[in-house]
Chains A and B, each alone.
Chain A
Amino acid sequence: MTGSRALLEVESVTTRYTVRRQGGDGVAVLTAVDSASLTIAEGETVGLVGESGCGKSTLGRTIMRLVDPAAGRIFFRGRDITELDHGDMRPVRRDFQIVFQDPYASLNPRFRVRAILAEPFRIHGLGRAEAARRAPELLDLVQLPLAALDRYPHEFSGGQRQRIAIARALALQPALIVLDEPVSALDVSIQAQILNLLADLKDQLGLAYLFIAHDLSVVGQVSDRVAVMYLGKIVEIGTRDDVFTAPQHPYTNALLSAVPSHRLDGGKRTRIVLEGDLPNPLQPPSGCRFRTRCWRAVDLCADEDPVLVQGQGMTQRVACHFPGPEAARGTRRGPLPPNAGSGS
Chain B
Amino acid sequence: MTTPLLEVDDLRVRFESDNRTVNAVNGVSFTVFPGEMVGIVGESGSGKTVTVLSLLGLVPSPPARIVSGRALFEGRDLLSLDADQLRSIRGSDVAVVFQDPMTSLNPVIKVGEQLREAMWTHARHIDDDLHRARAIELLALVGIPQPERRYHQFPHEFSGGMRQRAMIAMAIANRPKLLIADEPTTALDVTIQAQVLDVLMAAKAETGAATVLITHDLGLVAQVADRIAVMYAGRIVEQGTIEDIFLRPSHPYTIGLLASLPSIEGRQRRLYSIPGQPPRLDSELEGCSFRPRCAIGSDRALCAEEAPNLHTVGDGHRAECHYVAEAVIWAGERLRDPGAATGGGR
Q: Which residues of A contact B (CB under 8 A)?
A: 51-52, 157, 159-160, 187-193, 195-196, 199, 214-218, 220-221, 224, 240-241, 244-245, 254-256, 258-264, 266-267, 271, 273-275, 277-278, 334-344
A residues near B262, Cβ cutoff 8 Å? 192, 195, 217-218, 220-221
Determine the distance from Cα of A218 to Cα of B293 in the docked complex, in whole angstroms: 23
- Of the candidates B189, B190, B271, which one forms a contact with A259 in the assembled complex, judged by CB atoms under 8 Å apart? B190
A residues near B101, Cβ cutoff 8 Å? none
B residues near A277, Cβ cutoff 8 Å? 159, 161-162, 192
- Would A274 and B43 be within 8 Å (CB), given that A51-B189, A196-B270, A267-B223 are in contact? no
- Comparing B50-58, B84-92, B106-114, B193-201, the segment that makes contact with chain A is B193-201
A192-B263 in contact (CB<8A): no
- Would A262 and B274 be within 8 Å (CB), given that A51-B189, A217-B264, A255-B190 are in contact? no
Interface centre among B224, B264, B338 (most CB of A within 10 A): B264
B residues near A160, Cβ cutoff 8 Å? 277
B201-A337 in contact (CB<8A): yes
- Comparing B6-14, B67-75, B126-134, B239-247, the segment that makes contact with chain A is B239-247
Question: Which residues 198-221 of B sit at the A interface, judged by CB distance below 8 A?
Answer: 198, 201-202, 205, 216-220
B101 to chain A, nearest CB (A): 14
Q: Is B256 on the interface with A (CB-CB < 8 A)? A: yes
A residues near B261, Cβ cutoff 8 Å? 188, 192, 217, 262
B257-A188 in contact (CB<8A): yes
- Would A339 and B224 be within 8 Å (CB), given that A245-B343, A262-B263 are in contact? yes
Closest to B191 in A: A274
- Of the candidates B189, B198, B260, B265, which one forms a contact with A192 in the assembled complex, judged by CB atoms under 8 Å apart? B260
| Count: A-B pairs, CB below 8 Å | 155
Q: Is B285 on the interface with A (CB-CB < 8 A)? A: no
- Would A187 and B44 be within 8 Å (CB), given that A258-B194, A264-B242, A277-B162 are in contact? yes
The 6 closest A-B pairs by CB, nearest first: A260-B219, A337-B201, A192-B260, A221-B262, A192-B273, A51-B189
- Would A189 and B263 be within 8 Å (CB), given that A216-B190, A262-B219 are in contact? no
- Of the candidates B43, B217, B263, B268, which one forms a contact with A263 in the assembled complex, judged by CB atoms under 8 Å apart? B263
B243-A264 in contact (CB<8A): yes
Question: Which residues 216-237 of B sit at the A interface, judged by CB distance below 8 A?
Answer: 216-220, 222-224, 226
Determine the distance from Cα of A267 to Cα of B346 in the docked complex, in whole angstroms: 27
B residues near A339, Cβ cutoff 8 Å? 201, 224, 226
A189-B219 in contact (CB<8A): no
B271-A196 in contact (CB<8A): yes
Closest to A218 in B: B262
B residues near A220, Cβ cutoff 8 Å? 262-264, 267
B276 to chain A, nearest CB (A): 9
Subset of 9 A-B contacts with CB under 8 Å: A187-B43, A189-B43, A190-B277, A191-B260, A192-B271, A256-B264, A262-B219, A340-B224, A342-B242
Closest to B43 in A: A187
Q: Is B258 on the interface with A (CB-CB < 8 A)? A: yes
